A and B are shown apart, each in its own frame.
Chain A
Amino acid sequence: MSEKLLIAKSEPLWNTDKKIISLISGLVILLFALPHFGLNSFYLHLMIMIFMHAVMAQSWNVIAGFSGQISLGHGAFFGIGAYATSFFYVQYGVSPWISIFFGMIFSGISAVLIGIPMLRLSGHYFAIATLLIGISFQVVFQRWDLVGAASGLWVPMTSGDSWLALQFHTSKMPYYYVFLVFFLITFYLVWILSRSKLGFRLRAVRDDPQAALSLCINVSNYKIIAYVISAMIMAPMGSLFAQYILIIDPDRVFNIEISIIVLLITVLGGIGNVWGPLIGAAILIPISEYSRIYLGGTGGAVDLILYGLILMLICVFRPDGLISLVPKNILERKKQR
């Protein structure tokens, strides 16, 4: 731990390997140019889903990978974000660009309220508690008349494309860029987080709470901080998803499947690693969309069978995720020097 800490301090943030920097910037430029290569709307949709799920999984990665608390009810924050934008737009006509921040604030506050009592629990007890809380959110929103109860909220459509109302009906391209920008910002921030003092303290809390405590790290405070950050990453994705599909209901945005898929993506890609969620999403989302296209008509939940199978296989054979297949020296070049 101390060795890693020293490396982090001595290396300025941008002084990473030139090759990696150029690789990443090339990739970013490619992503910005991608829609102009004549992708049809299915591929745009696929990319949007990859970005969205990568960010959602990253959110889960912050709490589970960095601070070691397994939340099985992360869909709650997604739903809060989705309801925040839709509710304020439907009721008061507030632009989603503003109410995205409302969603973040609401889910941050919920995270504090849930986190203060719950994060004292450890292990299985926390996991079960979050599972129950996630379902409770769904039950409450199903009965809450103010937000449309079980039938949910229908976002009124604007007559044409509107950046102010964040609705685009002619093409998916604007959505692509919105999601892409959020994706890049989130990954950049989490990447900084993972190399900051906060990130190292969180991992210290995860690896050995006792030792962290003896180094004057307030374990429960740091867990709450991680939980709040994680919730605030999740909420904007809910908001954007609500703007993307324009109809939300409790069974869709508070579904336990959301909590499952973020877990699955992160574990598949590599938990505790900044790039794990991206790898997981880039592999899993195409599998899921294609299996829905080719096998979805049979009425069975074929993509869910695959999820369960992949999750078990990963747990048995590659508990560190697919990123552990990449040779270590590429990931941690500085260690060799």
Chain B
Amino acid sequence: MTSDIILQAIVTGLMMGLIYALIAAGLSLIFGLMDIVNFAHGEHLMLSMFSSFWLWSLFGIDPIFSIPITILLMAICGILTHYFLIRYILKAKMLIQICATFGLSIFIRSIAQLLWTPDFRNVDKPLLEGRLEIGPVFIGQPQLIASLVCLLAFFGLYLFVTKTETGLALQATAQDRHAAEVLGIPSNKMFAIGWAIGLGCVGIAGGMMANYFFIFTDVGINFALFAFVAVALGGFGSIIGCLYAGIIIGLVESLGGLLIDPSFKLLYVFAIYLLVVIYKPQGLFGRY
């Protein structure tokens, strides 16, 4: 009987982990590209969940079909963030960069609270509902689809970054933006593309989660914290490392919650971060 519960926890952790991985990939892409940590990442996730919610509530578009719109909106949001804020602080001190994105996060969250109140919302009767029963394990259908879509998007991102010309240009800018500029890669445009793609990833994750997760203004905080942990765990700038790191975090969260004490779930994940940055600062899968 207990083995069934553990199996259930592993499956749940795995599905959650894939979502963490995609969110972290967006963060890692931006971090690797311009050495700026987006402290507003959680708020961007919240925005994407709300965009999915409002598209459902105002226009009756099911979250599953509104995914492309959400991605587009988030990409635009990323470009705007870059254009209005990040562009000015590229050369600033790290302190200023941290404060600026931190300020953005407070700003977005409190604007959202003002506009939409801190109430909890959820999408009522989405197309994806119900659960599958495979042997002793129950799998929620929306969770399953969400994690599969995230996995798919993850590999799409990986192929884009490693195979296409734009992706290679992004990597070149990440390695040395001045050298890349000499070779005719406009770094400013690359940064904008990086933000668009990074937040696009968040858009997919948020849009899929809108199917089954409560939607409220503080929803992003924990996901952003886990994304920070995943980026550190996976190694600086390593996108594929995020996948492993996300899965590890998902498993630690669900197994730790099951085996030790569910009220300290957050702390287990934080402990991993602290252990990794102290003993293996290059991350588990980092190149450096």
Residues of A within 8 A of B (CB): 64, 68, 70, 72, 117-118, 120-121, 123-125, 127-129, 131-133, 135-136, 139-140, 143, 260, 263-264, 267, 271, 298-302, 304-305, 307-312, 314-316, 319
Contacts and interface: CB of A to CB of B under 8 A. Distances in A.
Contact of B278 (A68, A117, A263): A117
When A and B form their complex, which 6 residue pairs have the shortest distance between CB atoms, in order from nearest? A308-B107, A311-B103, A300-B114, A308-B106, A304-B110, A315-B100
B228 interface: yes
Given A311-B102, A312-B103, A315-B97, 16 more contacts: A128-B37, A128-B228, A132-B229, A132-B273, A132-B274, A136-B270, A143-B264, A263-B102, A300-B115, A307-B103, A308-B108, A309-B103, A311-B99, A315-B103, A316-B85, A316-B89
A256 B267 CA distance: 16
Interface in B179-227: 225
Interface string B90-112: 00111111111011111111110
A304 B109 contact: yes
B49 interface: no
15 contacts: A121-B278, A124-B98, A129-B273, A135-B266, A143-B264, A264-B103, A267-B99, A304-B113, A305-B114, A308-B104, A311-B102, A311-B106, A312-B103, A315-B88, A315-B99
A312 B107 CA distance: 9
Contact of B106 (A131, A139, A260, A267): A260
B103 to A, nearest CB: 3
B258 to A, nearest CB: 17
Interface size class, chain B: 35 or more
A118 to B, nearest CB: 8
B144 interface: no
A284 to B, nearest CB: 13
Nearest to A303: B110
Interface residues of A, dominant DSSP: helix
Residue from B110, B273, B278 with most neighbouring chain A CB atoms (10 Å): B110
A313 to B, nearest CB: 8
B261 to A, nearest CB: 9
B110 A127 contact: no
B2 interface: no
B277 interface: yes
B232 interface: yes
A143 B102 CA distance: 28
A135 B95 CA distance: 20
Residue from B106, B263, B278, B281 with most neighbouring chain A CB atoms (10 Å): B106
A125 B281 contact: yes
B232 A135 contact: no
A120 B280 CA distance: 12
A301 B108 CA distance: 11
B273 A316 contact: no
B166 interface: no
B117 interface: yes
A72 B103 CA distance: 12
Contacts of B37: 124, 127-128
A125 B277 CA distance: 7
Contacts of A121: 277-278, 281
Residue from B99, B108, B110 with most neighbouring chain A CB atoms (10 Å): B99
